[in-house]
Amino acid sequence: MTAMTSPPPALAQATQAFLSSDHGLLIGGARQTGQAGSTFETFDPATGQVIARVAEGRAEDVDLAVKAARKAFEGGWAGTMPIEREKLMWRLAELIEAHGDTLAELETLNNGMPLFLSKFSVSSAADMLRYMAGWASKMAGETLNPSTPGEWHAFTLREPVGVVGAIIPWNAPLNMAVWKLAPALATGCTIILKPAEQTPLTALFLGQLVQEAGFPEGVVNIITGFGETAGAALAQHPDVDKIAFTGSTGTGKKIAQYATGNMKRVSLELGGKSPMIVFPDAPLEKAIPGLTMGAFVNSGQVCAAGTRLFVHASIFDQVMESVAAQASKFKLGHGLDPQTTLGPLVSRQQHDRVADFVRSGLADGCAAYMGASSPDSAGYFYEPTLLVNTARDMRVVREEIFGPVLCATPFEDEDLSAIAQLANDTEYGLAASIWTQNISIAHKLSKMIKAGSVGVNTHILNDAVMPFGGFKQSGWGREKGREVLDLYTQIKSVAVSL
Ligand code: ADP
């Protein structure tokens, strides 16, 4: 069993001050209680204790936020000088860094992730804002050369899509917020952000920083609340031009349906069941830590997590032993304890879901090479779990678990198309990794894999320049990189007869 760390140290004063303040909605530049006046509790998943109450936004609050966002969009935000948007985004990035310790503590407290991860989230959120800020002044249309008789000046304009509704999950709350906020702000859109009900705190803190940075009122609005009320109201709202959603494939399908009411643009970043494929010549000194983190980082609550491990039969036993040895070094515990390297799952519900999946795997004939149990704790911890004797039709192999559960399978084939078939035997297509020193295998297989991101001798590269999104049921569209501009802008073609 993985070692548990000791109880967390006390919170910093700034974090305590934020926790004991009012957690209202941010609408049109003002903090407000919801129209219905209701609130909901938010928890520390490492202890199961309530840490704050936040305002519960509902349909009527969503409506007010959409009106505020529309007013800000039509009232000048879309027409601001790109360099002004860029400056504001840089200011926000600097404020995120200046308040990085508080943001990291809140992220850890609310989501459970270890402090080293929430600190990384803070710096990558700031970097994402700076990267996207540059596009404000660099994105452009192009001139065209028609073949129609006559003399023409023909060109395209790239215009912001308008009012954006962003619905995000609980697994990386700060980063998911910034992945939506940054391209919206850079392109001149206004936004209503709905964080997940499990993890509202860093989004609310970010809202304060948005105000401090000096964004005009109504450009960024934050509605905390539940999916089936606030989230659905946002996705169905007739005056929202685009929905950007990250979450489960099931909810993504509902969002796509809601969006048909006014034919809003939709981008979806959904589930995954990503393969990691290990060849006999893999650089194991890199592969073992890489595979272990690929599967278990953030307790497996990562949409791109490597959850299906295919290892060449000649090194299968060696890799199982080494991954298990590496994973047993994790220290489970409260994320605020600096010793902790693996935190709890986000909620009781998620913990029980993961435990159910593992039980079903064992009942279907898997063997637990390690883990498959919860330590004795009030928090929602689950041991890193390695399942062997897996088969393609088992639920643990087919469905997204979103927990620290890795299913391993040996392969004997030398034929790359048979290996690609194993890897592609899923309804998802978010990420994949290939572990080999053979560049020919690496490049050929990268092309054959049906996934939006492929890593070679790394699982995923989390960097602002890398477009990210899914093939198949893992989603629609690409976030990050230059490609995200297509999701937040639309093209107008203009023809001038000279
Ligand atoms: P999970 O089941 O793991 O919580 P979801 O995909 O349901 O993942 O949640 C991701 C986000 O989608 C959250 O912000 C949640 O509130 C929101 N959500 C859930 N159901 C709906 C819905 N029917 N309409 C709109 N948003 C929803």
pLDDT tens digit sequence for 465-482: 999 999 999 999 999 999
Give the Å distance between the CA of 321 and the centre of ligand 1.
37
Q: Which two tokens stand for residue 117?
A: 């991860």
Q: Give the count of alpha carbons within 13 A of 111, CB side only.
A: 33
Vertex 159 angle, CA 207 and 169, to 5°: 35
Please answer whether residues 191 and 184 qualify as being in contact, where contact means their C-beta atoms are separated by less than 8 angstroms. yes
Residue minimizing CA distance to atom 19 of ligand 1 = 227
Give just the sign of the alpha carbon dihedral 459, 471, 157, 220.
Answer: negative
Averaged pLDDT, 427-442: 98
| Percentage of the chain modeled with pLDDT above 70 | 98
pLDDT digits (tens, 9 = 90+) for 282-335: 999 999 999 999 999 999 999 999 999 999 999 999 999 999 999 999 999 999
Concatenating the DSSP letter of every residue in 111-161 gives H---HHHHHHHHHHHHHHHHHHHHHHHH----EE---SSS-EEEEEEEEE-
Q: Which residue has the tokens 């049109």?
A: 28
Concatenating the DSSP letter of every residue in 10-55 gives PPPHHHHHHHTS---EEETTEEE--TT--EEEEEETTTTEEEEEEE
Q: Decide if pLDDT at 345 tops 70.
A: yes
Q: How far apart are CA 109 and CA 381, in angstroms?
A: 14
Structure confidence at residue 223 as a pLDDT band (50, 70, 90):
very high
Residue minimizing CA distance to atom 1 of ligand 1 = 248
Contacts 24+ apart (CB under 8 A), 361-369: 361/387, 361/390, 361/394, 361/395, 361/396, 361/405, 361/407, 362/387, 364/391, 364/394, 364/395, 364/396, 365/389, 365/391, 365/394, 366/390, 366/394, 366/396, 366/407, 369/320, 369/324, 369/408
Give pLDDT, residue 4: 73
Atom of ligand 1 nearest to the CA of 254: 23
Give the Å distance between the CA of 254 and the centre of ligand 1.
10
Cβ–ligand 1 contact at 168 (below 6 Å): yes
Cβ–ligand 1 contact at 44 (below 6 Å): no
Give pLDDT, residue 419: 98
Residue minimizing CA distance to atom 4 of ligand 1 = 169
Q: How far apart are CA 2 and CA 22, in angstroms?
A: 38
Q: How far apart are CA 23 and CA 53, in angstroms?
A: 7
Q: How far apart are CA 320 and CA 232, in angstroms?
A: 43
Q: Which two tokens stand for residue 426?
A: 């899923």
Atom of ligand 1 nearest to the CA of 246: 10
Give the Å distance between the CA of 249 and the centre of ligand 1.
10
pLDDT digits (tens, 9 = 90+) for 364-390: 999 999 999 999 999 999 999 999 999
Residue minimizing CA distance to atom 3 of ligand 1 = 248
Q: Decide if pLDDT at 6 tops 70.
A: no
Residue minimizing CA distance to atom 23 of ligand 1 = 228
Cβ–ligand 1 contact at 470 (below 6 Å): no
The 3-state DSSP class for residue 242 equals strand
Give pLDDT, residue 414: 86
Q: Which two tokens stand for residue 162?
A: 């308008």
Give pLDDT, residue 1: 54
pLDDT digits (tens, 9 = 90+) for 261-278: 999 999 999 999 999 999
Give pLDDT, residue 175: 98
Q: How far apart are CA 27 and CA 332, in angstroms?
A: 39
pLDDT digits (tens, 9 = 90+) for 64-121: 999 999 999 999 999 999 999 999 999 999 999 999 999 999 999 999 999 999 999 9
Give pLDDT, residue 370: 98
Atom of ligand 1 nearest to the CA of 248: 6
Give just the sign of the alpha carbon dihedral 434, 281, 389, 374.
Answer: negative
Atom of ligand 1 nearest to the CA of 167: 14
The 3-state DSSP class for residue 333 equals coil
Residue minimizing CA distance to atom 7 of ligand 1 = 251
Which structural domains are found in the chain, ordered by start?
Answer: 13-270+475-494 (3.40.605.10), 274-463 (3.40.309.10)
Atom of ligand 1 nearest to the CA of 226: 16
Cβ–ligand 1 contact at 305 (below 6 Å): no
Q: How far apart are CA 450 and CA 271, in angstroms?
A: 14
Q: Decide if pLDDT at 35 tops 70.
A: yes
Q: Decide if pLDDT at 3 tops 70.
A: no
pLDDT averaged over every residue in the chain: 97
Burial class from Cβ neighbours inside 10 Å (0-12, 13-18, 19+) for residue 378 reads: exposed
Cβ–ligand 1 contact at 196 (below 6 Å): yes
Give the Å distance between the CA of 28 and the centre of ligand 1.
24
Averaged pLDDT, 156-176: 98
Q: How far apart are CA 491 and CA 294, in angstroms?
A: 38
The 3-state DSSP class for residue 386 equals strand
Give pLDDT, residue 2: 62
Residues marked active site are found at: 269, 303
Residue type, 9: P
Beta-strand pair 25-27/30-32: antiparallel
How far from the centroid of its chain's Cα atoms is residue 72's Cα?
27
